[in-house]
Structure 1
Amino acid sequence: MIEVYIDGASTGNPGQAGAGIFIKANGTVKHYSIPLGEMTSHEAEFWALIKALEICTESSYSVVSFRTDSKIVEDTVEKRYAKREPFKTLIDKAVTYIDNFDLFFIKWVPSKSNPADQLAKKAIQLNRK
């Protein structure tokens, strides 16, 4: 099973944002810091999910277990529903990827247990380059 840790962060609400993705797959670890431009922290959390789903799809992973420190992302994915935009559009996009995995799990973890946290903060800095 592939373990995927995700985190999104922004410098304001909205502000410069970034996604951090940490993937443990078959004995290897991959790190991603992806600048996202300007958005809210909640939007960045959803974009971290989507970017990680894209990476897992491109890598042909079939069984993935995601970890996030965002309760809103975990709850929205579990329900597969969001009432308001932009989250409705973002969860709909995420579900199109999720449905292609043989098994998909998502679980909330505390920020201190999320190695993607520092990667998201690094991604914010990449917006400025």
Structure 2
Amino acid sequence: MIEVYIDGASAGDPGPSGAGVFIKDGAGQVERYSIPLGLMSNHEAEYRALLAALQICIDKHYSVVSFRTDSKLVDEAIEKQYVKNKLFQPLLEEALLLIEKLDLFFIKWIPSNQNKTADELARKAIRSIDKQK
């Protein structure tokens, strides 16, 4: 099973944002992605990190995946297939459509201290935006 750690981060609310995606396969191989996202809220960055990671998994034909996030908002939205904030409804719908393309999908909330690599990758993406200015 493929383990996927995701995190979104923003330098401000809204502010320059980035997504971090850290993927581990059963053989110990790892992939790291730092994805600049532009200006958005931290919560939107968390959803964008989920969407980016789902698309990476689909593109790489990873069909059995277990996601880890330190965002309770994203974890609960996926588990309940519902969001309170209607601004996030299109992001949730897009995520659910991508999840349907996978054979098996799990998502689990983890504490931030267990998601440090994805967090570092998200912050690296923000720094790359700052360097482009």
For the aligned pair, the TM-score class normalised by the smaller chain equals over 0.9
| Structure 1 residue ranges, 4+ long, deviating more than 3 angstroms after superposition | none
The one-character-per-residue Cα deviations of 1:94-127 (angstroms, maximum 9, x if unpaired) are 0011011111000011111112011111111111
Q: Tell me the equivalent position of 1:86.
A: 87
Q: Tell me the equivalent position of 2:65.
A: 64
Aligned residue type for 1:97: L
Q: Tell me the equivalent position of 2:41.
A: 40
- Taking the aligned partners of 2:23 and 2:2, their CA distance within structure 1 comes to 7
Kindly, what percent of the aligned residue pairs are identical?
57
- Taking the aligned partners of 2:84 and 2:18, their CA distance within structure 1 comes to 24
Q: Tell me the equivalent position of 1:14.
A: 14
Equivalent position SS for 1:43: helix
Aligned residue type for 1:123: A
Aligned residue type for 1:65: S
Gaps of 5+ in 1: none
Q: Give the TM-score, by structure 1 length.
A: 0.97
- Taking the aligned partners of 1:4 and 1:118, their CA distance within structure 2 comes to 15
Gaps of 5+ in 2: none
TM-fit CA distance, 1:83: 3.4
From the two aligned structures, give the one with the greater helix fraction: 2
